[in-house]
Structure 1
């Protein structure tokens, strides 16, 4: 089996894990803090706290995680067949 498939499967699992982690983060803050009555909301930079933490902080955190993963964990793999030289 081509070793590129092993790398691709590992990196696909990393991507799925990151998507699941992002959803859990979003869902936890959006429905955890957002399920209170509107009168009890606190605001950060003009946004309700549930929105700020779930959408703004979550987006920034996931972007930083993707950058770190792309820089240090994911590998650059050639799409060229071995022995197929131009």
Structure 2
């Protein structure tokens, strides 16, 4: 039985998992900062964009657009194609 810690696929998967956690943290911080930063006022004091409160536009719509761009960039630039099948010469 092969030692899985020496398999380079595990190193790649670990790195990509950490990147995914980082992206999730960025998403949460972005959402929290705008939702509670701009939304922590009386509704009479809100500013509106296309009829929606600005905190909602920036946190939910802007955050979604930002994360879609970031995830697309990260997947195309930093993630690697990893084969899932057994290595050649190994036993199944």
Common fold: TM-score over 0.5: yes
| Cα separation, partners in 2 of 1:44 and 1:8, compared to 1, 3 Å | same
C-alpha offsets along residues 30-65 of structure 1, whole Å, 9 cap, x if unaligned? 001000111100001111000000000000000010
Stretches of 4+ moved more than 4 A in 1? none
Instruction: Show structure 2 runs of 5+ residues with no match.
Output: 1-5
In the alignment, the residues of structure 2 paired with residue 83 and residue 38 of structure 1 have an alpha-carbon distance, to the nearest angstrom, of 63
Give the 3-state SS of the residue equivalent to 1:80 in structure 2.
coil
Please, what TM-score do these two structures have when normalized by structure 2?
0.89
Rg larger for = 2
TM-score (norm 1): 0.95
Aligned length: 85
